[in-house]
Structure 1
Amino acid sequence: MDLDWLRANPRQLSIFLNHQRIRVTPVPGGDVCVATRLTLDDGSELFAKQRPVMPPADFFAAEAAGLRWLTVPGGPALPEVIAVDAQGIALQWVEHGTPSVAAAEEFGRRLATLHRAPCPDFGAEWQGYIGTEPLDNTPSGGGAWLDWYRTRRIEPYLRTSRDADALTSADVAMVEAALARIDQPVEPPARIHGDLHPGNLLWGRDRAWLVDPAAHGGHRETDLATLRLFGGIAQLDRVVAAYQDIYPLAAGWEERVGVHQLHLALVHTALFGPGFAGLVRAASDHTTC
């Protein structure tokens, strides 16, 4: 079985994986999916993901839709979707490299290009997932970003975290206060990765790649803010400087980093419990305007 057959039969991925004798190498990392490296008969290599239990029918389709939607001329590199069905997804294999200055600067310029691509609304035409959690992408219908963000990205995970005792009432009050005091400049919707913590930026041999998106129309500052989580990516200053050359950020963007990090912080408390409450508190504290 070779790459041409799989391209011609993309919805037969699970049959292909279950019934063909191909070389499968486990890939470490990931809490949601089982990841493998596939070596096909023609020598082609792919990255494949499957869930240990049957996922929702649209789980991998949402990832494929996001990868394709984020692929714009001059934008960041994203792995090609080779095949996808209800049980898994197979993507172009990317060889790992190092975060060079040149790669960081190129990524900053390309991320700015992505954020300038046409985007009709906050939200998306498909319903998404982040980790195992549903992600409500209902379009804003022309409404303001902060209202959409509060309703679709904060309140569901804040409620889940509170109900599971992952956050205290004081933590909830801190989040609400951070949202209340932000003065967000009005900007048009941007195509964003939506889950761009450092683990979802893959440094390849000659460039940086975006992987595992929760893509939607959002605020462009969100992607830049989440790159700072968990210690931040290597060469972050170079990325931001190159980005600013192409698409300058509005004044005060650094004071708004925390509110843009709140969504991913709350996803972590909703999924993994009170061990990530400190991340929520830090994001709330980092919102100063």
Structure 2
Amino acid sequence: MSDFVKNAENAPKGFVAAEAAGLRWLAEPQAVPVVEVLSEEKDSLRLARLESVPPTAEAARALGEGLAQLHDAGAPGFGWTPAEGAWFGPLESPFAVENTSRDDFGRYWADDRLRPLADAVTRTLGADGHDTVDEAIDIIADGAFDGVSGQGQEEPARVHGDLWSGNLMWTAEGATLIDPAAHGGHRLEDLAMLSLFGAPFLEEIFEGYEAVHPLAGDWQQDLPAHLFFGLLAHVRIFGEAYVDQTIATAESIIARADQLGF
């Protein structure tokens, strides 16, 4: 079997072990293809080499079905990770994230993920922007998005955690997950990240997902709350280019919560 060596000489201590553990944990339920970990060293990861093919609607639908099964496999808690340390971001500049396991989605998402990022980019957001972002985070902390479309409380799902379109490899075996930030989270986290930069055949992915795990009819209106972390991370890593989109997303979260009665 040919392989691909991912060098991480400048990555934080434990980064490689965390990625390897995340890939193995995502592969465990055998729900969706995940790149195989062949071996790991302190500063490198040897993975099975993937050969890309063009995406198709059929493969996208199968991905959606598999993601629903993966999420349904569950996790011990919100924020829990399969390794001691946890990071988010590209190999060149990842940042550490909290991985305390919590029973409550809103507090985990708001206090452990969103608020530290918002505070780190206060100057970049500007005073008014930071106030709007803070208001949206407070609404999330109060539980507006604990369920789907305000219905109930979701159980922790087994999520990839950074599932933008660039972390999918379309192969002959199906869409394959790479480069995770795997953790216990809300099932809409992965679906939201797929929508952030427009995955190919996105509607087919969503259709496949709902064929296995139906969601409330207006669930896509919840997605801004679940891609919010990804946008704030982009402000931290890349700067002002993502500020307007982040503030607009905060405004969408506030408006959606008002629709839901929060």
TM-score scaled by length of structure 1: 0.79
Identify the match of residue 285 of structure 1 among 247, 251, 256: 251
Cα separation, 1, equivalents of 2:240 and 2:226: 20
Matched, 1:229 2:173: no
User: What is residue 20 of structure 1 aligned with on the other side?
Assistant: none
Matched, 1:47 2:20: no
Cα separation, 2, equivalents of 1:188 and 1:173: 30
User: In structure 1, the residue corresponding to 2:136 is in which secondary structure?
Assistant: helix
User: In structure 1, the residue corresponding to 2:51 is in which secondary structure?
Assistant: coil
User: What is residue 257 of structure 1 aligned with on the other side?
Assistant: 223
Q: How many residues align?
A: 240
User: What is residue 136 of structure 1 aligned with on the other side?
Assistant: 98
Q: How far off its partner does 1:179 sit?
A: 3.1
Identify the match of residue 151 of structure 1 among 111, 114, 118: 111
Cα separation, 2, equivalents of 1:76 and 1:211: 11
Cα separation, 1, equivalents of 2:30 and 2:9: 36
Cα separation, 2, equivalents of 1:181 and 1:173: 13
User: In structure 1, the residue corresponding to 2:215 is in which secondary structure?
Assistant: coil
User: What is residue 124 of structure 1 aligned with on the other side?
Assistant: 80
Q: How far off its partner does 1:178 sit?
A: 2.2
Deviation per residue, 1:223-281 (Å, 9 max, x gap): 10110112x11111011011001011235321211111110111111112112212312
Deviation per residue, 1:47-105 (Å, 9 max, x gap): 2211353x322011000011011113341110111111211111111100111111011
8 A contact 2:156–2:184 mirrored in 1 = yes
Cα separation, 2, equivalents of 1:190 and 1:280: 25
**Aligned CA distance change for structure 1 residues 286 and 98 (closer, same or farther; 3 Å):** farther
Identity score, percent: 34
User: In structure 2, the residue corresponding to 1:209 is in which secondary structure?
Assistant: strand
In the alignment, residue 35 of structure 2 is paired with which amino acid? P
Cα separation, 2, equivalents of 1:110 and 1:188: 18
Cα separation, 1, equivalents of 2:8 and 2:134: 35
8 A contact 1:72–1:117 mirrored in 2 = no
User: What is residue 79 of structure 1 aligned with on the other side?
Assistant: 35
What are the ranges of 5 or more consecutive residues in structure 2 without an aligned counterpart?
148-152, 258-262
Cα separation, 2, equivalents of 1:282 and 1:202: 30
In the alignment, residue 42 of structure 2 is paired with which amino acid? A
Cα separation, 1, equivalents of 2:241 and 2:29: 40
8 A contact 2:78–2:185 mirrored in 1 = yes
In the alignment, residue 247 of structure 1 is paired with which amino acid? H
Q: How far off its partner does 1:134 sit?
A: 0.6
Deviation per residue, 1:92-144 (Å, 9 max, x gap): 1110011111101110100000010032211224321112101211111x2x1
User: What is residue 213 of structure 2 aligned with on the other side?
Assistant: 247
Q: How far off its partner does 1:152 sit?
A: 1.3
Matched, 1:174 2:140: no
Identify the match of residue 164 of structure 2 among 164, 183, 197: 197
Matched, 1:113 2:69: yes
What are the ranges of 5 or more consecutive residues in structure 1 without an aligned counterpart?
1-43
User: In structure 2, the residue corresponding to 1:76 is in which secondary structure?
Assistant: coil
User: What is residue 235 of structure 2 aligned with on the other side?
Assistant: 269
Cα separation, 1, equivalents of 2:128 and 2:9: 37
Structure with more contact order per residue of length (Cα contacts < 8 Å, sep ≥ 6): 2
User: In structure 1, the residue corresponding to 2:124 is in which secondary structure?
Assistant: coil
Q: How far off its partner does 1:285 sit?
A: 3.1
Cα separation, 2, equivalents of 1:74 and 1:244: 19
User: In structure 1, the residue corresponding to 2:206 is in which secondary structure?
Assistant: helix
User: What is residue 18 of structure 2 aligned with on the other side?
Assistant: 62
Cα separation, 2, equivalents of 1:243 and 1:265: 24
TM-score scaled by length of structure 2: 0.87
